Amino acid sequence: MRCEFGSGQSLGPLVNSPVFDGSPTVSADETELIFTSGRNGQQELFVSTRPSKQDTWSEPVNLGPLVNDSISDDFSPRLSNDGKALYFGSFDRREGFGKGDIYVATRASRQQAWGPATNLGARLNTEEFEAFPTPTADGNTLYFNRSTTFDSQDSDIYVTSRSGADDEWSEPERVPGGINTERAEFSPSLTSDGNTMYFASERSGHIEIWVSTRGHMAEAWDTPQRLGTDVNVPRGMTLAPFLSHDQRSLYYMSARPEMSAGEACTPRSCFDRLDLYVARMNCR
């Protein structure tokens, strides 16, 4: 049996606004969607909910001042598997260490409000740009990307770990194997077993989603494969993948090129056309 993702479907006009919407992350049961949006004039985190996976998403609500900073842009959210921790990136907060830092907000349960966001500290956050902090299912390994600036080609994916929730994170290291190249790699997402990684890369000359696997946690990552044109639309820009817990849905953001335009999408030309999409796994 062969399985692959079908055509990406827009999350619709209630979730997607006329400006930038991106970096989706969903709860394990896919009834809570958190994403970044510029609809209020700066990048902030919003949440949309639904009663079940078969229902439509509700009108998004701002996560509020304990998570979103009143001055800085907040972006690249990633929910933990249990839904009690929200990792994200933020530009130039007053207590930050560099151009972009990694933060986490926690809550006691899905029914409780998020507590105040806290910086993950100087071991993970440098004077450079860190973003897309993505925890593994057990919460004790964290993948993220680091670069000189948010759009520089030297972006690589790093990994750090800890023994338990109350322990410190280790010194981050570049992910070994075939993931990182001389071009930009960023926005990782992992399967629940930690042995398949989806991420964005510019190695082909365009920003697209790629996937890499490994046999088990101790092995290096295999040579990545680019997802097909049902997800990576030609001349478009596709990034920030987030795989659902059951591995049947791939959420991501994408900008589709204007049909009349001759130029392919770039971060500068298509930023405000980035919208949220989902592709479902088809097996035959």
In tens, the pLDDT along 73-115 reads 999 999 999 999 999 999 988 889 999 999 999 999 999 999 9
Rounded mean pLDDT, 139-159: 94
Q: Tell me the C-alpha distance between 149 and 177, whole Å.
A: 24
Query: In this predicted structure, what is the pLDDT of residue 217?
Result: 84
SS3 31: coil
In tens, the pLDDT along 204-230 reads 999 999 999 999 888 889 999 999 999
Domains and CATH numbers, the chain: 3-283 (2.120.10.30)
Q: How confident is the model at residue 269 (pLDDT cuts 50, 70, 90)?
A: confident
Q: Is the pLDDT of residue 260 over 80?
A: no
Q: How confident is the model at residue 149 (pLDDT cuts 50, 70, 90)?
A: confident
Nearest to 212 by CA among 180, 245, 239: 180
Asked if residue 200 lies in contact with residue 218, where contact means CB atoms within 8 angstroms, the answer is no
Q: Tell me the C-alpha distance between 120 and 105, whole Å.
A: 10
C-beta atoms surrounding 195 within 10 Å: 15
User: Where is 267: in which H helix or E strand?
Assistant: helix 267-270
Rounded mean pLDDT, 31-38: 98
Query: In this predicted structure, what is the pLDDT of residue 1?
Result: 64
pTM > 0.85: yes
